[in-house]
Amino acid sequence: MPRILIIEDNADLAFGLRNNLEIEGYTVEVADDGHKGLARARATRPSLIVLDLMIPGLDGYRVLRTLREENYDMPVLILSARGEEGDKVRGFGLGADDYVTKPFGLLELLARIQALLRRGRTSESAETSGYRIGDIRIDTRDHLVYRADEPVELTQTEYDLLIALARRKGGVASRQELLKEVWGHQHEVLTRTVDSHVAELRRKIEENPAHPKHLLTIRRMGYRLKD
> Looking at residue 117, what is its pLDDT?
86
The Cα 51–Cα 113 span in angstroms is 12
pLDDT single digits (tens) 61-102: 999 999 988 888 889 999 999 888 888 899 999 989 889 988
> Looking at residue 128, what is its pLDDT?
55
Where does residue 205 fall: left (phi above 0), alpha (psi -120 to 50 degrees), or beta otherwise?
alpha
> Looking at residue 185, what is its pLDDT?
53
The Cα 162–Cα 167 span in angstroms is 9
> Looking at residue 126, what is its pLDDT?
42
Q: Residues 17-55, buried b or exposed e (16+ Cβ, 10 A)?
A: bbeebeeeebbbbbbbbbebbbebbebbbbbbbbbbbeb
pLDDT tens, per residue, the chain with 227 residues: 789 999 999 999 999 999 999 999 899 999 999 999 999 998 888 999 999 999 999 999 999 999 988 888 889 999 999 888 888 899 999 989 889 988 888 998 999 898 888 876 544 554 456 889 999 999 887 789 999 989 999 888 899 899 999 988 888 989 888 888 887 755 556 778 889 999 999 999 999 999 999 999 998 889 999 98
Domains of the chain with CATH codes:
3-126 (3.40.50.2300), 130-225 (1.10.10.10)
> Looking at residue 127, what is its pLDDT?
46
